[in-house]
Amino acid sequence: MSVIMLTHDPATATQGLPYDSERLPFSVKVKDEINPYRVLGIYVMPAQVVELECVFTHPRSSFTVSSQAGVIERYAKERWTWKAPQEQGMYPLTITDTTTNSIMTLNVFVMVPFAHNHETLHGYRIGRYQQKPLKNNPTYNRPQGFIEVTETNRSAPVSPHFTLGQFVGKQASGYPKYLLLKERLLLKLEMMLEAFNQEGILTSTLHIMSGFRTPFYNRSIGNQTKYSRHLYGGAADFFVDVDENNYMDDVNQDGKSTITDAIVLADIVKKKARETWYQPFVGGLGIYGPKPHRGPFVHVDVRGFPARWKNP
């Protein structure tokens, strides 16, 4: 069991740590999200047109956008469109501030279309999504397609401190596997990770215990929730695991790993939720105590409205 809460002084919490938020001196608005980080995964359908806009820039900055595939068109100062290729795969888009030589990479994944009259995609069990979105909320619309995950691209970064493979579902199968992943969830996880480090919880990533789940897998583990945010790529169950023993670390230094450690993390999320900038990231926050087969963990999602629960 690792003890990682080394200091309670935010001013010195990250000294000597292998943690860097990897924020850039500019941000890019894409798919209604604003990304300030060096790298972010973006998920689109074949031939989809994506708009890019550099924001929070220095007046003297100058930007270029490049990609090895797709079609880039500049239609205004610091604004572009990019039309995705038809073929599925990962296509990095590079935005460069030529004044400071700061570079942002958007790892764009062109997804595989999915017909909902089937329950499998290339042999991978998906199951059935609900035809009608919950309370007509479009965030619960049935997905148009899925990200194809291979043994090669599973290690691709989808944000500075998370990789695509961390969010793959646990159902047994070979590759390729398929998943959904929301850009907003990745941004929320990065902001939470930064907050944890500022509060003295020194870790360079979070252990994603459960990311995406297919409706098939969700039912197979006894979960009756038809609209779980895990089914839509907008939720993550996580814990801090610096020593990589697949169990929550002793973040509050009381000599054991209990629900109290999950509460410490959840309280930091609640603290951030009171700040104005956090509003786009409002969602569920669940606290779970240990069970015989697993340790304590925290659930977060980006459902768009607040929900709170505790499961001891």
**pLDDT 10s digits, 145-160:** 999 999 999 999 999 9
The pLDDT score that the predictor gives to residue 105 is 98
- Checking if the pLDDT of 11 tops 80, the result is no
pLDDT confidence tier of residue 134, bands split at 50, 70 and 90: very high
Residue type, 159: S
- The structure tokens 């459960």 sit at 210
What is the pLDDT at residue 13?
A: 38
Query: pLDDT tens digit string along 188-204?
Result: 999 999 999 999 999 99
| pLDDT single digits (tens) 262-303 | 999 999 999 999 999 899 999 999 999 999 999 999 999 999
CA atoms within a 13 Å half-sphere pointing along the CA-CB vector of 168? 23
* Edge-first strand listing for the sheet containing 39-44: 39-44, 102-110, 89-97, 63-67
When pLDDT is averaged across residues 104-130 and rounded to a whole number, the result is 97
Cβ atoms 65, 74 nearer than 8 A = yes
Whether the CB-CB separation of 95 and 101 falls below 8 Å is answered with: no
Average pLDDT over every residue of 121-137: 95
Those residues whose C-beta lies under 8 Å from the C-beta of residue 110, and which sit 6 or more positions away, are 44, 45, 46, 48, 84, 85, 86, 87, 88, 89, 90, 91
Checking if the pLDDT of 9 tops 60, the result is no
Output the DSSP codes for 133-187.
PGGG-GGGSPPSEEEEE-TTGGG-EEETTEEGGGG---S---S-EEE---HHHHH
Portion of the chain with pLDDT greater than 70, in percent = 95
For residues 227 and 64, give the distance between their C-alpha atoms in angstroms, rounded to a whole number.
41
What backbone torsions phi and psi does residue 5 show, to the nearest 5 degrees? -85, 90
Mean pLDDT score across all residues of the chain: 93
* Residue 135 burial (C-beta neighbours within 10 Å; 0-12, 13-18, 19+): exposed
- Band of the pLDDT at 176, cuts 50, 70, 90? very high
Residue range 30-86, pLDDT digits in tens: 999 999 999 999 999 999 999 999 999 988 899 999 999 999 999 998 999 999 999
Triad 200, 299, 172: Cα angle to 5°: 120
pTM score above 0.85: yes
As a whole number, mean pLDDT of residues 165-181 equals: 96
